[in-house]
Amino acid sequence: MCDYPGCTASGEYRAPKSRTLLDQYFWFCLDHVRAYNAKWDFYKGMSAGQIEAQLRSDTGWQRPTWPLGRLGARFLDEDALRDPLHVLATGRARAADRARAETPPDLREPLTTLGLDWPVTLDTVKTRYKELAKRHHPDANGGDRAAEERLKTINLAYAAVRTHLAAEPRLAAAG
Ligand SMILES: [Zn+2]
């Protein structure tokens, strides 16, 4: 049975009783282990008894709705959980989404042109640019006008990314 006061769901997920009792556990249902997990920082410095008292007084826990992505997996027992809501196993996908969302708007098109994903380093961009410039150079395409146009687009994309990275040397160096 879930340790949350008044909850009758089965308590399948464990969470430490306090920061000082990391080997003693509450057993919660999925909703309540998540609520507890989300409140973990709030419980900092509280004893297990104080946390239990807080659980009892905290009506905000009733039937919570949890925004996806906000929940850490700190106390979720992954084996027991089997990830019914796909909030755990998607860390990599979420990282990719975040990277896409963080792409500077002025670089989205240039990076697509170069076939690169944010974040990029100057070296990565240079290497890719050289490959593309060689492949799409009109001389390598029998003087093809379309190749010439492609190369112009690639040049513009490269210039845009290079300018951006030069303006943010911290990012360029960190990559
Ligand atoms: Zn519960």
Half-sphere CA count of 120, side-chain side, radius 13 A? 29
Predicted confidence at residue 59, as pLDDT, reads: 56
Rounded distance between C-alpha atoms, residue 17 and residue 26, angstroms: 6
Contacts of 89 (CB under 8 A, 6+ apart): 83
Q: What pTM was estimated for this model as a whole?
A: 0.43
What would the two tokens of residue 55 be? Answer: 């659980």
Residue in 27, 126, 34 with CA at minimum distance from that of residue 71: 34
- Residue 152 CB neighbours (<10 A): 11
Predicted confidence at residue 100, as pLDDT, reads: 65
Predicted confidence at residue 95, as pLDDT, reads: 60
Predicted confidence at residue 61, as pLDDT, reads: 54
Ligand 1 centroid–CA 57 distance in Å is 15
Neighbours of ion ligand 1 (CB under 5 A): 2, 4, 7, 9, 29, 32
Ligand 1 centroid–CA 47 distance in Å is 21
What does DSSP say about strands 21-28 and 13-18: parallel, antiparallel, or unpaired? antiparallel
Helix (H) or strand (E) holding 16: strand 13-18
Ligand 1 centroid–CA 171 distance in Å is 44
Q: Consecutive 10-residue runs of the chain (175 residues): their mean pLDDT?
A: 88 88 88 87 84 74 43 44 47 59 80 82 87 82 80 86 77 46
Predicted confidence at residue 114, as pLDDT, reads: 81
Residue in 76, 81, 168, 91 with CA at minimum distance from that of residue 122: 168
- The answer to whether the beta carbons of residues 75 and 36 sit under 8 Å apart is yes
Predicted confidence at residue 27, as pLDDT, reads: 92
Predicted confidence at residue 29, as pLDDT, reads: 92
Predicted confidence at residue 93, as pLDDT, reads: 56
How much helix, strand and coil, in percent to the nearest 5, is found in the chain?
Answer: 55, 10, 35
Ligand 1 centroid–CA 95 distance in Å is 30
Predicted confidence at residue 144, as pLDDT, reads: 79
- The answer to whether the beta carbons of residues 125 and 158 sit under 8 Å apart is yes
Ligand 1 centroid–CA 56 distance in Å is 12
